[in-house]
């Protein structure tokens, strides 16, 4: 079974409360999502591999450290996942970015794929799938399946808010994919919105209703 990590950092909780507030406007919502993503990136990357090397400070030689192992890739699920990219790239500037586009059919509540553009060497990278909301898990499942078809072996799912139903669905479908969330909320509504949630993340990021 995959690992589920809820990031209980005080700054994350504080900023999450800002984007939950219905009175938070688009500009602030977008900025705070970026900040939360940056904080989450810090926590998600705790186990990245390092190698030692010798460097020279202005005073003497010492031991330095640099990231080693596989290269990294970020794959936001369009469109809401775009809101998390800048925060992640601020700490991982050399990561390549792919895109997988889906929208939810409001009648069936199922994801409908419409776009996929991934780095040529995506199968040789550790992949972080980005989506602010993990509701039913359908979109994340489809995105992960697409990445696995392209040969990806190391995939992590990073979401800001998740419903228990979505977490369980991904664990059942992809026991090899670890999940990182800022909050595990109570449940899904009858229309598959996360409760208490924060509304439609895409609409709030881009000012559409």
* Binding-site positions for 5-phospho-alpha-D-ribose 1-diphosphate: 79, 104, 131-139, 200
Least Cα distance to 157 among 135, 185, 189 occurs for 135
Q: Which of 86, 123, 124, 200 is catalytic?
A: 200
Q: Confirm whether 121 is a catalytic residue.
A: no
Q: Which of 86, 104, 123, 173 is catalytic?
A: 104
Residue showing tokens 């000012």: 207
Which residues sit in the known binding site for uracil? 194, 199-201
Q: Confirm whether 123 is a catalytic residue.
A: no
Q: Confirm whether 104 is a catalytic residue.
A: yes
CA distances from 37 to 71, 145, 163, 183 (A): 19, 23, 18, 13
DSSP string over 41-87: HHHHGGG--EEEEEEE-SS-EEEEEEE-SSEEEEEEEETGGGGGHHH
Q: Confirm whether 20 is a catalytic residue.
A: no
Q: Which of 57, 63, 108, 191 is catalytic?
A: 108
> Hey, which residues are catalytic here?
104, 108, 200, 203
């Amino acid at each position: 079974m995959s690992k589920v990590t809820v990031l209980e950092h005080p700054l994350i909780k504080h900023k999450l409360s800002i984007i939950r507030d219905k009175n938070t406007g688009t500009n602030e919502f977008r900025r705070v999502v970026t900040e939360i993503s940056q904080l989450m990136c810090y926590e998600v990357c705790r186990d990245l591999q390092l190698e030692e090397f010798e460097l020279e400070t202005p005073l003497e030689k010492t031991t330095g450290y640099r990231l080693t192992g596989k290269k990294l890739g970020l794959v936001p699920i369009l469109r809401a996942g775009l809101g998390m990219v800048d925060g992640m790239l601020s700490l991982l500037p050399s990561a390549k970015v792919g895109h997988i586009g889906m929208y939810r059919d409001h009648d069936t509540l199922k994801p409908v794929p419409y776009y996929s553009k991934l780095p040529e060497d995506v199968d040789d990278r550790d992949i972080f799938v980005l989506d602010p909301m993990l509701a039913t898990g359908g979109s994340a499942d489809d995105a992960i399946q697409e990445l696995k078809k392209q040969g990806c072996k190391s995939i992590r799912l990073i979401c800001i808010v998740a419903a228990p139903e979505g977490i369980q669905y991904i664990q059942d479908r992809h026991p090899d994919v670890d999940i990182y969330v800022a909050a595990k909320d109570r449940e899904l509504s009858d229309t598959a919105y996360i409760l208490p949630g924060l509304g439609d993340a895409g609409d709030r990021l881009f000012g559409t209703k």
